[in-house]
Amino acid sequence: MLPQIIAYLLQYIKYQEKLIVVLLGIVLGKSVARAQYDEPVNKPYRKFQVDDMPIIETLEKLNHKDLLTNYELKHGKPLKPVVRRQNSVVTVPTTLTCPKCSAPSEYLYANNGQRGQYKCKVCSCTFSNRNRFLKEALMKCPHCFKALEQIKARKEFDVFKCRNNACSFYQKNIKNMTSEEKERFKKDPQAFKVRYIFRKFNFDFKPLSKESPVNPP
């Protein structure tokens, strides 16, 4: 609920800004309002456009020890680990833990055979290596509130993109294209930046702080 409220407030602030510019144009002259939004139609450097910050949603984390204690108090007996068949070809790695409650491998099922999906017996979390609970936080598009998909992983940063075709940001950029740009977009969509993109940088900001004992040369 909180991310939606923040996004709504941001849109409301943008609306107020436009309203203020219109009022200034009425009072001081139309040239003031026109200069604020006078942009060229053709934007060949659209790929270098910096988008707004995404909506960051902190994911729920549980403690498997507390859950096991509560289970024993409620049912009068401890929760038993998963009983595996001796002749089963599906194995769960001993180093694997539940990303939501950190339960060890003895409480994890191989949920869909050998396809790499697991289920925790303690918190009922279904996950895989690409599951969202493996991330520190879930990032959503500020325009359509859909989860962003990681499309690139670089040494310095990761790139996330909104894949929602109904996103208002995507629809607006498509609508603002000229007829020539639309024809080119059909043949070479990579030449245009029409979707919301966010780059998450993977370097430590602490050494850059003033309190750092390491001074730059």
Per-residue pLDDT tens listing for the chain (217 residues): 555 677 677 778 888 888 887 787 777 665 554 555 545 445 555 555 667 889 888 778 899 999 999 999 999 999 999 987 766 666 788 888 888 898 999 999 887 666 678 889 999 888 876 665 555 678 899 999 998 988 887 878 888 999 999 999 999 989 988 888 888 888 888 888 889 999 888 766 666 666 656 666 6
- Evaluate whether residue 8 is within a structural domain: yes
Q: Indicate if 104 and 156 belong to the same structural domain.
A: no
Q: Indicate if 6 and 113 belong to the same structural domain.
A: no
- Evaluate whether residue 215 is within a structural domain: no
- Evaluate whether residue 208 is within a structural domain: no
Q: Walk across the sheet containing 197-201 and list its strands.
A: 149-153, 157-161, 197-201
Q: Indicate if 69 and 88 belong to the same structural domain.
A: yes
Q: Kindly give the pairing relationship between strand 55-58 and strand 108-110.
A: unpaired
* Number of independent structural domains in the chain: 3
Q: Indicate if 87 and 147 belong to the same structural domain.
A: no
**Residue 160 phi, psi (nearest 5):** -120, 145
Nearest residue to 133 (alpha-carbon basis) of 199, 62, 53 = 62
Alpha helices per DSSP H over the chain: 2-28, 30-36, 64-75, 168-175, 179-187
Q: Indicate if 55 and 139 belong to the same structural domain.
A: yes
Q: Kindly give the pairing relationship between strand 126-127 and strand 118-120.
A: antiparallel
Q: Indicate if 156 and 188 belong to the same structural domain.
A: yes
- Evaluate whether residue 123 is within a structural domain: yes
Q: Which pTM was predicted?
A: 0.51
d(CA 168, CA 187): 23
pLDDT score for 40? 47
pLDDT score for 210? 64
- Evaluate whether residue 212 is within a structural domain: no
- Evaluate whether residue 192 is within a structural domain: yes
- Evaluate whether residue 140 is within a structural domain: yes
- Evaluate whether residue 27 is within a structural domain: yes
The boundaries of the domain holding residue 16 are: 1-38
Q: Indicate if 27 and 76 belong to the same structural domain.
A: no
pLDDT score for 19? 83
DSSP designation for 108: E
- The distance between the two most distant Cα atoms of the chain, rounded to a whole number of Å, is 83
Q: Indicate if 100 and 112 belong to the same structural domain.
A: yes
Q: Indicate if 141 and 199 belong to the same structural domain.
A: yes
Q: Indicate if 121 and 167 belong to the same structural domain.
A: no
d(CA 184, CA 152): 24
Q: Indicate if 145 and 197 belong to the same structural domain.
A: yes
